[in-house]
Chains A and B, each alone.
Chain A
Amino acid sequence: MTKKTLIALLLLVAVASIVPFVVSNYRTFQFTLVLVYAIALLGLNILTGYNGQVSLGHGAFYAIGAYCAAVLMDKAGVPYWATVPAAGAVCLVVGFLFGLPALRLEGLYLALATFALGVSMPQLLKYKALEEWTGGVQGIVIAKPDAPWGLPLNSDQWLYFFTLGVALAMFLLGWNLLRGRVGRALVAIRDHHIAAEAMGVHNALYKSLAFGVSAMYTGVAGALGAIAVQFVAPDSFSIFLSILLLVGIVIGGLASISGALYGALFIQFVPNLADEISKAAPWAIFGIFMILFVYLMPTGVAGALRMLSERQKRHNFPAAKNEEEVP
């Protein structure tokens, strides 16, 4: 990482730490959800952006994470913070197991298989035999945690900082994972799976592990989301959530870590914005925004920003560019 990126990052964290003190509790709650989505989008991006496996069903892992947290708190009295790693672990296993048969499927066929998972999840959660734990159609209500250690924060502010901490940790882990040997292998599989295997990459293992890790991220996000919203119900996790997550990584930038944050801002705030513009057809307005973004920034927000900064660099050092152009 360059010095400049590090400074930008520290600045971002500083700004993020001030946010809950200058905006309303409701806005703080919304920013908490941005962080939650950012974690989920980073997870989906590891699978789809970096490894090239398209998932149309990540909402299912989000739901599993959310229900893990809710059931553990509601039935077993587990403290909220401990449910987050538990949800991650469960989703890691479920994702890995789902990834094994998915190895046989490529491209659109994998997309369909994951779609099947996403579309069936709400109904599975309503299943009668599970109702004792899941609360059936009614779902589960969760109490909002208060700030510990007598911190002078209200519960919205505390949850925001708790989520921020988890998000920072997850982004650090993700960045580490993607910048070295494993990240190269994941991208190599996406770019040319035969050559990757010929170079010694264990494709089957890497692809299933990518599925597991991706599901783990999304599950952690689901748990944090459930705690923030204080409620889980089957219909909060419809197939629409899965699609929205995919929209998020494409708009934010495929195979980009920072893209997860831009995508999260988009899927959290653009629907609200669309709703303010037209109460009658908010999704039509949302669609227009989406088309505009894709049209103006075909490589996502992250890609557009990267291009801008490169252009800036070339503008500052025009000589360096000319030298490079000599064949």
Chain B
Amino acid sequence: MPLLEVRDVAVRFGGIVALDGVSFDVEPGSIVGLIGPNGAGKTTLFNCVSRLYACDRGDIVFDGGSLLALPRHRIAGAGIGRTFQNVALFRSMTVLDNVMLGAHSRSRSGFVSNALRLPRVPREERATRARARGILQMLELESLADKAVATLPFGTCKRVELARALAAEPKLLLLDEPASGLNHEEVSELSGLIRRLRERLRLTVLLVEHHMGLVMSISDRVVALNFGRVIARGTPPEVQRHPDVIEAYLGAA
């Protein structure tokens, strides 16, 4: 059974059709690349999966249940982590606090128990901090733990965002253009990192990416969108050879 099933999803903004009957599956443990020219609807689809946008039609099934029945703040707890295209970190907080906040859905304590600092609060806090530090170590960020994110360069911020998403122990990780703004060396490092994370954390990854080298080298399957429709899907070589994909990127021959 696929981990994520996108079924006939349509989204309209006013008169503009952003997604028009998109369907595809993501098998557990796979890395699926979502490609397409600007405005093809890739980020819109991401935002549907994380419930930031409502679907006008269709269904998104995750782990056997419909996501459309869940409110936004339950998505992380359901097992879907994400990063954002333009980095959406909590700028006034430290790197460690950002990652600890990422574990919000994996901790319980509320207003009353926090205010009274009941014994389970420091216990939970210690566990969360240990987990966050472990993730920082895995991503080679531990030396920056106490830095404010506002002071960090863009590439590092993307890495912190990845750490924050991993803190929720997701089954499915949505990466929105993880390679944008990175230099050549950082991109090749990133593809190794994504593969390693998949092995270690048994992740399933869905990524939107413009960097074709990255997508084609790490994806098991690729889905190509254009004007809100799926124009091709299959293994990277299949999609790369597909005439509609070539036309979408290069224009009619």
On A, residues with C-beta under 8 Å from B are 173-174, 176-177, 180-185, 187-188, 190-192, 194-203, 209, 213, 255
A-B contact pairs, 18 of them (CB 8 A): A176-B114, A176-B121, A177-B111, A181-B109, A181-B125, A184-B93, A184-B104, A185-B104, A187-B90, A187-B97, A191-B90, A197-B72, A199-B102, A199-B168, A200-B73, A200-B77, A200-B168, A209-B111
B70-93: which have CB < 8 Å to A?
A: 72-77, 82, 84, 88-93
Say whether B88 contacts A202, CB under 8 Å. Answer: no
Given contacts A199-B168, A202-B73, contact A180 B109 (CB under 8 A): yes
Of B82, B93, B128, the contact of A181 (CB 8 Å cutoff): B128
Q: How far is the CA of A201 from the CA of B121 in the complex (A)?
A: 17
B142-157: which have CB < 8 Å to A?
A: none
Query: What is the interface of chain B mostly: helix, strand, loop, or mixed?
Result: helix
Say whether B164 contacts A199, CB under 8 Å. Answer: yes
Q: How far is the CA of A200 from the CA of B97 in the complex (A)?
A: 15
Q: How far is the CA of A195 from the CA of B52 in the complex (A)?
A: 10
Given contacts A184-B97, A184-B100, contact A201 B109 (CB under 8 A): no
Say whether B92 contacts A191, CB under 8 Å. Answer: yes
Say whether A198 contacts B90, CB under 8 Å. Answer: no
Say whether B114 contacts A177, CB under 8 Å. Answer: yes
Say whether B93 contacts A187, CB under 8 Å. Answer: yes
Given contacts A185-B104, A197-B73, A200-B77, contact A176 B91 (CB under 8 A): no
Give how many B residues have a beta carbon under 8 Å from the other chain's beta carbons: 36
What chain A residues lie within 8 Å of B117 (beta carbons)?
Answer: 176, 180
Say whether A194 contacts B109, CB under 8 Å. Answer: no
Say whether A200 contacts B105, CB under 8 Å. Answer: yes
Interface residue B44 (Cβ < 8 Å from any Cβ of A): no
What chain A residues lie within 8 Å of B110 (beta carbons)?
Answer: 182
Q: How far is the CA of A213 from the CA of B114 in the complex (A)?
A: 13
CB-nearest residue of chain A to B118 = A176
Q: How far is the CA of A184 from the CA of B121 in the complex (A)?
A: 14
Looking at A174, A180, A196, the one whose CB has the most chain B CB atoms below 10 A away is: A180
Say whether A181 contacts B102, CB under 8 Å. Answer: no
What chain B residues lie within 8 Å of A174 (beta carbons)?
Answer: 115
Q: How far is the CA of A238 from the CA of B100 in the complex (A)?
A: 42
Q: How far is the CA of A177 from the CA of B112 in the complex (A)?
A: 8
**Smallest CB–CB gap between B70 and chain A, Å?**
11
What chain A residues lie within 8 Å of B164 (beta carbons)?
Answer: 199
Interface residue B107 (Cβ < 8 Å from any Cβ of A): yes
Interface residue B250 (Cβ < 8 Å from any Cβ of A): no
**Smallest CB–CB gap between B252 and chain A, Å?**
38
CB-nearest residue of chain A to B88 = A195
B168-187: which have CB < 8 Å to A?
A: 168
What chain B residues lie within 8 Å of A183 (beta carbons)?
Answer: 114
Q: How far is the CA of A199 from the CA of B90 in the complex (A)?
A: 11
Per CB-CB distance, the 9 closest pairs between chain A and chain B, nearest first, are: A200-B105, A200-B76, A191-B90, A195-B88, A176-B117, A177-B115, A182-B114, A173-B115, A202-B73
What chain B residues lie within 8 Å of A197 (beta carbons)?
Answer: 72-73
**Smallest CB–CB gap between A166 and chain B, Å?**
15
What chain B residues lie within 8 Å of A255 (beta carbons)?
Answer: 92
Of B88, B101, B102, B124, the contact of A194 (CB 8 Å cutoff): B88
Given contacts A177-B114, A180-B121, A184-B93, contact A199 B100 (CB under 8 A): no
What chain A residues lie within 8 Å of B102 (beta carbons)?
Answer: 199
CB-nearest residue of chain A to B117 = A176
Say whether B50 contacts A198, CB under 8 Å. Answer: yes
Of B77, B92, B107, B168, the contact of A187 (CB 8 Å cutoff): B92
Say whether A188 contacts B93, CB under 8 Å. Answer: yes
**Smallest CB–CB gap between A112 and chain B, Å?**
25
